[in-house]
Amino acid sequence: MSELGICSRREADEWIERGWVRVDGKVVSELGSKVLPHQKVSVERQAAAEQSKRVTILINKPVGYVSGQAEDGYQPAIALVKPETRWTEDAVQTQFHPTQLRSLVPAGRLDIDSVGLLVLTQDGRVAKHLIGQDTSVEKEYLVRVQYSKPGRLPDTELKRLNHGLTLDGKALLPAKVSWQNEDQLRFILREGKKRQIRRMCDMVGLKVIGLKRVRIGKVRLGNLPEGQWRYLREDEQF
């Protein structure tokens, strides 16, 4: 079911336990049941109705918040999701309810020192699309840097940032890295290793002064104020 893009593995388990899943018209209630390629998997309407209620939230994460679980006294970004921090210009009619915080998980990381677009979702399909093994969704960052040597970063090192660096013993996928102005680079990546941009910059003698994620796929941060959140609109797709 997960491979077909119907739902996440966790959702599949829930639906099977509730008797909402059929194979060739017969209800399957046992987790881990094998399905052959020629067999047809279908789900009851209740599953689709429940899935449609699941929300995806966009936050402009400030410095000092962690993406996931609380750690070392720092608050998780989900702590920002409350009625008073919802963006007043949010065009979605959905009413906020505390049940929306249940199973609301970050679809990707943004480290504690970075700001910008962070996605929290209850929808397993969104999470898989953004952070699954086969994802190729672009993520765009604006990165303020300082060169540790006299003069300007050589073009050869800029080329290495685009393609040619290795992290944790594995070659990085090609990136798109270009200067925006004298001290700011634009990074567009299709992967997200831990503190990847900071480590890439360190390898070529650049110190990261500030890092902001401004886009994930086709969804942009836009004018969303720092520390505020909004719902993903129906017409928006990553």
**Residues 137 and 127 sit within 8 Å (Cβ to Cβ):** no
Spatial distance between the Cα atoms of 61 and 229, rounded to a whole number of angstroms: 9
Q: Where in the chain is the domain with CATH 3.30.70.580?
A: 54-135+219-231
Tokens for 184, please give them. 């700011």
**Between 3 and 55, where is the model more confident?**
55
pLDDT, residue 99, reads 85
Spatial distance between the Cα atoms of 104 and 55, rounded to a whole number of angstroms: 8
Spatial distance between the Cα atoms of 63 and 112, rounded to a whole number of angstroms: 6
Examine the residue annotation and report whether 24 is marked as an active-site residue of this protein. no
pLDDT band at residue 76 under the 50/70/90 scheme:
very high
**Between 29 and 51, where is the model more confident?**
29
pLDDT in tens, 80-131: 999 999 999 999 999 998 888 988 999 998 999 999 999 999 888 888 889 8
Task: Indicate which residue of 111, 113, 123, 202 is catalytic.
Answer: 111
Write down the pTM of the prediction: 0.81
pLDDT band at residue 20 under the 50/70/90 scheme:
confident
Phi and psi dihedrals of 49, rounded to 5? -65, -40
pLDDT, residue 51, reads 60
Tokens for 153, please give them. 């970063």
Q: Where in the chain is the domain with CATH 3.30.2350.10?
A: 139-216
Report the topology of domain 54-135+219-231.
Alpha-Beta Plaits (3.30.70)
Mean pLDDT of all residues belonging to the chain: 91
Report the topology of domain 139-216.
Pseudouridine synthase (3.30.2350)
pLDDT in tens, 158-205: 999 999 999 999 999 999 999 999 999 999 999 888 899 999 999 999
